[in-house]
Structure 1
Amino acid sequence: MNIPVNTPAPRIGRRRFLTGSLLIAAGAVVSTACSTDPTGGSSGGKTTLNVWYHAYGEAGTQQAVLRYATAFTKANPDIAVKVTWVPGDYAGKLYASLLTDAAPDVFEIGDFDEGLAHRGQIAPLDELYGDTRADFGAAALDTVTVEGKLYGVKMIDDVLMLYYRKSALAAAGITPPTTFDGLAAAAKALSTGKSKGLYLGTDGTGDGPALAVMSTGGELVTREGKVAFGSPQALEALTAFKRLHEDKSLLLGFTTDWWDPSAFTQGMAAMQWCGLWAMPAVRTALGDDFGVMPWPAFREGGTPVLRVGGWTSCVNAKGRHVDAANKFVQWLWVQNSDLQRDFAESYGLHVPPRTSVAATATKLTTGLAKDTVELARRYGRHNPGTWNTAVSTAFNAAAAKIATGQGDPAALLADAASKAQSEIDKQLGR
């Protein structure tokens, strides 16, 4: 999940239960409309843009996007901006809204979904980049490219990795593992009393199955849209992943999911899969008693993995104010590098997608933050653009059953691959 400089307060969650809209015109908040319905209307200015954000958990983020909107309307008084803060199932609410007249003009999405481009729901934004295009990292461009056009502007990169408690590993005589066997053995050895060795999420799977596949050097889906997670290597890795459950090494059912570091900082797990955004909160709680590492290679000679996600700003191609929406996205995410750096560095930690902005993000240039960015450069993997809800659900459901011994692994994975391929073929119109 998927940011002035301050020390973030403890995270309430990536999806805090807050909602509502604030209307900003001519550089000032002119009215509020708080409701459980984030699509309520407002008016003001010659044009009113509805801009959606998911409910970030990092303290100060909501206030920051309101400041940005205020600065934009001061520079463009003919365009009012209604900032809508959407809690809960953001993706579900967004996709439902895009089928209605109440859809936002500008919205962010997490892992880029190229199906939105194929369905004509988001506008190509190539012209917005101008001469800054070369300043965006190759991955930031590749992930939003569909049939040669750019359908979004990456706002932040979120790096996901394993945190480990230095003192816990040292007390057990364990060095950070470099293979899955090493990880499984470490997780088992570190499970003592009420503390478990590893936290991957409330369900005990989280990103683990996808990481297991990628750690063999394989892919989930190829760039050509062919399912790859049904390979013999993937089956071997997913079957091995079951060991974490058999060994009872995983913390299950914690009160917050993997995106929140509380299980780790409260000593409930010696290792946790989480994100760079949590590093300030982890450091506040633990000082220097933590380290970071990739998900280890499946075996020696394999591929360590960090996942790189983040958030991308898109324009509703079917909206009533496409030109004004383009202007807002360009102003905020292309032209104003100071605001891009603030968003990435001041509310948790995120990586700016632009090379020049990242170079001035001082909190990312030292210590473990710097190490994490370097690890992401070497081992970072993005989910494929075809990895939508239907595809990921098919894979994750099969992986969860394999991990908990509910059926024949080969049959479960083959069925999931078939379902996923049918869905991808529909996305790509073939």
Structure 2
Amino acid sequence: MFNLFHLSLKLSGFPIANAQADFEKILAISEADYPDYLETKKREIVEFHLKNNPFYHNLVGKETFDNWNELPVLTKKDLQKPLKDRLSKGYSEKTVFVNKTSGSSGDPFVFAKDKEAHAFTWASIMYRFGWYGVDFNSSYQARFYGIPMDFIGYRKERLKDFLSKRYRFPIFDLSDTILDGVLEHFKTEKFNYINGYTSSIVLFGKYLQARNIILTDVCPTLKVCMVTSEMLFEEDKILLEKYLGIPVVNEYGASELDLIAFQHPNDEWQVNSETLFLEILDENNQPVPYGKKGKIVITSLYNKAHPFIRYEIGDIGILDEKSTLKKPILKKLIGRTSDVALLPSGKKSPGLTFYYVTKSIIEDDGNVKEFIVRQTKIDSFEIDYVSSVELTLEQTQEIEKAIAKYLEPGLHFTYNRKKVLERTKRGKLKQFQSNL
């Protein structure tokens, strides 16, 4: 089989073969030897950043550390500085993998991974998807994701999709007419698996339910569905498994880190302990025992370009009592839900659509710290934001232009600059809220 996906990673400068070989070595470390291995890796990555990353060195305030729990817990706020001021010595924006996130929490920032660390991320994804017989070089993916609407961005994503053996259904309009077309694709293409945003796939599941169609009846090559980026509720999982006709696998990840947890075929939500170290901390940033809930804080063990050390991701979770350092099990994830926007034309769009739209106001200078979008009427939205300087007329026009392109024209927006944004009881921002 011609490995087009591997080749595309290699051509982009990501040493995927080395990463996979190293990943296999980590998997082979025994349960007994794992705590020592992990301690070594944690110390190595912190010492590297204390020595080579002035930004991290300033945060910690000293050359060395004795106690892991004394290290600061980083939040997105700490990282809202121009990227060049956060990179380690020897790395530049041209030599690393750079991406943007607003996450599902509405805190935007630009992040980087060195190419080896990014290859590790792919090795970890390929390994876990392999549990379900998915091979990135040969399995064909039906992808429910956003896509940039500008000509160059759109073509670039479509090319990436081609190289990655996937067909993308843009999720900005999921009205019945569009879903009719999606269903036609499933009738004519031999898709092996579905991957994408939970809320979009659930909308498709409800569309199938209304028509009493089981997807595998029209597309028998389908084996599995992976949902990501938003909470999958139990009743939605039951609905999806019935109307897609395949197992639905829950994925929890963050673009700036990696896959964080992935549902194993035995149904446990296995944490990625190969490239990450996950802690559950209380309000005072102290570790809680297995079985107790707390903040999810993650260390990226291999990213040398940019420090993600004790990084608070904005979610609350519980590790299972039977967890070990080699095999931590996420018992419960609390958070990460997203509403659906209903528009005057009858379109339904997932709240995460605003993730793509609000990218147009996100700049690397870190001006906009946080934002939420609220739908107040069928045609009216409010954007509450926290920023160093007020958005200019030009910027708000840019947002509205992007929204007209992604969603539909004729929507009304008001912008409220705030000192702080209202949070949920869990201290999390809900990026999109519908008051309808």
TM-score between the two structures when normalised by the length of structure 1: 0.24
TM-score between the two structures when normalised by the length of structure 2: 0.24
Larger helix fraction of residues: 1
